[in-house]
Amino acid sequence: MSANRISRRAFTSRAAAFTFSAVTASKSLGQSSKDETVVIHPEISAGRVRPELHGHFAEHLGSCIYGGLWVGEKSPVATINGFRKQAIDYLKALGIPVLRWPGGCFADDYHWRDGIGPRAKRPKRVNIHWGNYTEDNSFGTHEFVELCRLIEAEPYFAGNVGSGTPQELRDWVEYANYPSGSTLTDERAANGSPDPFKIRYWGVGNENWGCGGRMTGEEYATQYRRFAGYMRNFGTPLYLIACGPNSNDSRWTRGFMDSMQGRGYPHGFAMHYYQNLRVEPTRFSVENVQAQLAKFDDMEKAIVQQRALLDSYDPERRVGLLIDEWGVWDGMIPAEEKKYGRLWQQNTMRSAVGAALGLNVFHRHADKLVMGNIAQTVNVLHAMLLAYEDKCIRTPSYYAFELAKPHRGKMGVRVETGDSSPLRLSVSASRQYGDLVVTLVNPKHDTHLKVSCRLAGATASAASARILHHQNFNAANTFEQPDVVVPKPHAATADGARVTLELPPMSIVTATVKI
């Protein structure tokens, strides 16, 4: 039976029988070893894993854009039309389904006209959110769209509500999407793009409860209606994304939804959920690791509760839930920020485990989510790449996303671990026809897991797996040693109704199974 033919009865069934084997623990070499049983229900859908759940976010912040993705055509670094070639190659290989830009807080002080036309004539503006340095606007609308084309990502524009006007935003939509024949589209053509960009995803402000205007949910709803009312579909149906809550703030969601009074709902509502723990990235203690990784459970609760709250207003789910900023936010080191830019954060094995826990949450709740964008792509916060001068390396979290890639587009299926303790084994699974993909994450620093995945109603004929693991959760890839944490092939055994594999402490394994 194909995944998209899962029956309604099977989908809603609570009766599927499962058993868990006894958990045994034995000590060896200072680590405990634990047997775990996971039950995977390939016939019970948890919703399609939209590729957009693996989305990304790039802001004009520190060296994410300038010096990171964009080094300019005159740079001594190898480029493709001014874009850092190594970054393009890595991001294209990873496959970024959707990329959100230009912020973040920056979005609500960005005036798109500053970033079009001949680069030498573009104005210099002060980036008031991220250090009051000046930007020459050499990276603007056309450059972002070209970047997205190079890496084959769908662009997501975040519009300015905080310091902008409805007219400015409606003009950006016309400039980007109207086919031809208006003064704005003539200007677009003169700037090198006669064809419309066909931008589908538009954010109407960012964090308008904070840096985007310090509004209440009710006040923002009024602004949302004013701005969205002038954003038109010019042959490209728009997907308008309203600012959602800071973490699981139900007051914001209620205030916004109450004020909308059932009319003119946005297509999407974007929560931001960071896993903050302000400790230097490579100096996490065991307690720090546990405290930060436990926050992924809180994000899972927030998804369930915010979706339920939206459902209470909008049972047909016309409003999709997004998390368009998420990830680990550690403590910055001033000397590193000075050298590499604001919010530069080293990325470790612990960060990768965090990324994999987040992606597993998204897969398990694929029916409730439309998009997830990790913050941010290069050099900032929970980054995929670190770049400096002529060097560009992949972080452990890049590989966590790479390991999750086979889930994209497949049908998420139900998994049962029978364990709700903190830092338990995390599992997600998805299926398309006879291909089952399972990602398992062991967030414990001291426990080796021997995992048996029982397939309910299916037979496994073959399995292969890859692992990302380092015994030191503070291990990182550096410019000098870029391959400290990299994925490797891993043993997995398919034995009829079971797949068995082992997860050392702090590891991520993705198994692909033929069923």
Q: Which is nearer to ligand AHR, 207 or 402 (CB)?
A: 207
Smallest separation (angstroms) from ligand AHR to the CB of 246: 8
Q: Single out the segment in contact with ligand AHR by CB under 6 A; choices: 48-56, 98-106, 232-240, 385-393.
A: 98-106
Binding status of residue 381 toward ligand AHR by CB under 6 A = yes
Q: Is 268 in the site for ligand AHR (CB under 6 A)?
A: no
Least CB distance from residue 376 to ligand AHR, whole Å? Answer: 6
Report the 10 Å Cβ neighbour count for 17: 6
- Least distance (Å) from ligand AHR to the CB of residue 104? 3
Q: Is 152 a catalytic residue?
A: no
148 binds ligand AHR (CB under 6 A): no
Place of tokens 């998209």: 4
Cα three-residue angle 171-103-146, rounded to 5 degrees? 65
Residues whose CB falls within 8 Å of the CB of residue 511, separated by 6 or more in sequence, listed in order: 437, 438, 439, 440, 453, 463, 464, 465, 492, 499, 501
Contact between 375 and ligand AHR by CB under 6 A: the answer reads yes
Does residue number 105 form part of the binding site for ligand AHR (CB under 6 A)?
A: yes
* Tokens encoding 317: 């789910």
As a whole number of angstroms, the distance between CA 512 and CA 408 comes to 13
Q: Interaction with ligand AHR in 313-342: which residues (CB under 6 A)?
A: 325
Token duo for residue 235: 């042959």
- Judged by DSSP in three states, 205 sits in coil
Q: Is 358 a residue that touches ligand AHR (CB under 6 A)?
A: no
Please, what is the minimum distance in Å from the beta carbon of residue 202 to ligand AHR?
16
Name the residue nearer to ligand AHR (CB basis): 234 or 274: 274
Closest by Cα among 389, 391, 355 to 372: 355
Taking a C-beta distance cutoff of 8 angstroms, is the pair 270, 324 a contact?
Answer: yes
User: Judged by CB under 6 A, which of 103, 217, 245, 505 binds ligand AHR?
Assistant: 103
Least separation in angstroms between CB 212 and ligand AHR: 8
Residue 325: active-site member: yes
Residues sharing a CB contact under 8 Å with residue 421, sequence separation 6 or more, in sequence order = none
Active-site residue, selected from the candidate residues 168, 207, 300, 402: 207
Please give the C-alpha separations between residue 495 and each of 202, 449, 463, 499, in angstroms, as whole numbers.
Answer: 48, 18, 9, 6
Judged by beta carbon, residue 117 or residue 210, the one nearer ligand AHR is: 210
For the segment 154-213, give every residue that binds ligand AHR (CB under 6 A): 206-207
Q: Which residue is catalytic, options 52, 135, 174, 325? A: 325
* Residue 512, beta-bridge partner list: 437, 464
Least distance in angstroms from the C-beta of 110 to ligand AHR:
11
CB 395 within 8 A of CB 477: yes
Taking the complex as a whole, the smallest distance from the CB of residue 270 to ligand AHR amounts, in Å, to 10
Ranges assigned E (strand) in 376-442: 385-388, 391-394, 411-416, 426-432, 435-442
Residue 385 sits in the site that holds ligand AHR (CB under 6 A): no
Among 62, 68, 102, 104, binds ligand AHR (CB under 6 A): 104
* Cβ neighbours for 338, distance < 8 A, ≥ 6 positions apart: none
**Cα torsion angle, 101, 106, 141, 170, sign:** positive
Report the residue closest to ligand AHR, judged by CB.
104
**In this complex, which beta carbon is closest to ligand AHR, that of residue 125 or of residue 424?**
125
Applying CB under 6 A, the span of 103-111, 119-127, 281-289, 451-459 interacting with ligand AHR comes to 103-111
Site for ligand AHR in 6-65 (CB under 6 A): 59
Just list the catalytic residues.
207, 325
**Under the rule (CB under 6 A), what is the footprint of ligand AHR?**
59, 103-105, 206-207, 325, 375-376, 381
